[in-house]
C-alpha cells in the first residue's frame, strides 16, 4: 500500500518538556492539550538526560548513534510477564480517571480491574508482535514495557501480528484504527507512539543478548521473521504525531519505577530520521 498523509490534527509538540522538568520525579498525569501545530522539521530536542544518560550518544548520527543508544538502553531491569499487569496499571493510567487505563488502539478508558482474557477485558498487547522473531512472552522482549500496552481483548485479536501500514476498514471498538488482510493502522492520536515503540525495539534488541536482532523494513509480509513494516510509514507517523504528555510521562514512569531505561525516540524524536 502507498504511503498516504495522515488524516489528523497535530498533537501538541511537547517534545521533551515534561522530561526536562521531571528530573527523577514522575510527571503529573494530565490530559494533553489539543490542536497545536508543529513544523515539519522541528529543531533537535534537548533533555535533562543529555549530560548523563545520553552522554555517549550526543553528537552521533546514523549507525554510530544507533550503536550508542543500544549500549545505553540495554541496561535495564527486566519485568516478569505477570509483573506487566501491575506495571501497565501505572504506566497507562487514564489522565482523566485514576481508576482506569487508557487502551492504545481503541482509545477506550477501562477499569484497571478488568484485566484478563474475556470479552470486555483488556489484556497485554505486544506492539512489536511477539511472533515477529518468535520471542513469545519470555522475560526480555516479550515483557519489555516500552512496547507493551493495554488493549481490548477483541481489538488485540484483530490486530494479531499484522505489520503496520496506512489503510483498511473500521471494526468494533476501533476508536478510529483500521485494518485489512495484511496490515493495521492505529488511530491518529497514537500513530507516532506506535512508531517510536517499534523503533525502540529495533535499537534495544540487536541480537547480542540471546534474543533476535529486531529491525523495521518496508514489508507487510514478515511472518515470523524478526522484522516489522512498514518503515517509511512508521517514520511518517513519528514525524506527524510527535510525543505528547501521556507518552512522555509513560517513558518517565518506566524509567523511574520499573525498567530504569528510556525510549530515546520520545526524548529525541529527531533521532528517528538521523538513524533511518
pLDDT in tens, 97-151: 999 999 999 999 999 999 999 999 999 999 999 999 999 999 999 999 999 999 9
Look-up of cell digits 485489512: 180
Q: How far apart are the first and last CA of the chain?
A: 20
Read off the C-alpha cell for 22: 521531571
DSSP 8-state class, residue 141: G
DSSP 8-state class, residue 115: B
Radius of gyration for the chain, computed over Cα atoms and rounded to the nearest angstrom = 17
- Position 46 scores a pLDDT of 77
Q: How far is it, in rounded angstroms, from Cα 267 to Cα 141? A: 21
- Position 47 scores a pLDDT of 81
- Position 167 scores a pLDDT of 97
Q: What is the reported pTM? A: 0.86
- Position 14 scores a pLDDT of 39
Q: How far is it, in rounded angstroms, from Cα 178 to Cα 166? A: 8
Residues 239 and 184: beta-carbon distance below 8 Å = no
- Residues of the chain with confidence (pLDDT) below 70: 1-45
Amino acid at each position: 500500500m502507498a504511503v498516504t498523509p495522515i488524516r489528523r490534527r497535530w498533537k501538541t509538540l511537547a517534545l521533551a518538556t515534561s522530561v526536562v522538568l521531571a528530573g527523577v520525579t514522575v510527571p503529573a498525569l494530565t490530559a494533553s492539550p489539543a490542536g497545536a501545530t508543529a513544523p515539519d522539521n522541528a529543531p533537535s530536542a534537548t533533555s535533562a538526560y543529555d549530560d548523563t544518560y545520553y552522554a555517549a550518544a550526543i553528537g552521533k548520527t546514523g549507525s554510530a548513534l544507533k550503536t550508542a543508544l543500544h549500549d545505553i538502553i540495554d541496561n535495564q531491569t527486566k519485568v516478569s510477564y505477570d509483573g506487566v499487569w501491575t506495571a501497565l496499571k501505572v504506566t497507562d493510567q487514564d489522565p482523566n480517571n485514576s481508576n482506569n487505563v487508557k487502551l492504545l488502539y481503541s482509545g477506550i478508558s477501562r477499569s484497571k480491574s478488568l484485566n484478563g482474557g474475556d470479552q470486555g477485558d483488556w489484556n497485554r498487547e505486544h506492539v512489536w508482535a511477539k511472533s515477529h522473531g518468535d520471542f513469545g512472552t519470555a522475560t526480555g522482549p516479550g515483557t519489555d514495557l516500552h512496547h507493551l500496552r493495554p488493549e481490548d481483548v477483541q481489538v488485540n485479536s484483530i490486530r494479531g501480528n499484522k505489520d503496520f501500514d496506512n489503510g483498511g476498514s473500521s471494526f468494533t471498538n476501533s476508536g478510529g484504527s483500521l485494518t485489512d488482510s495484511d496490515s493495521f493502522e492505529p488511530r491518529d492520536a497514537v500513530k507516532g507512539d506506535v512508531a517510536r515503540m517499534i523503533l525502540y525495539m529495533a535499537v534495544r534488541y540487536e541480537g547480542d543478548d540471546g534474543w533476535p536482532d529486531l529491525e523495521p523494513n518496508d514489508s507487510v509480509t514478515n511472518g515470523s521473521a524478526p522484522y516489522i513494516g512498514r518503515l517509511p510509514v512508521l517514520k511518517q507517523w513519528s514525524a506527524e504525531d510527535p510525543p505528547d504528555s501521556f507518552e512522555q510521562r509513560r517513558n518517565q514512569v518506566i524509567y523511574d519505577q520499573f525498567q530504569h531505561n528510556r525510549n530515546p525516540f520520545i526524548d529525541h524524536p529527531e533521532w528517528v530520521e538521523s538513524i533511518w
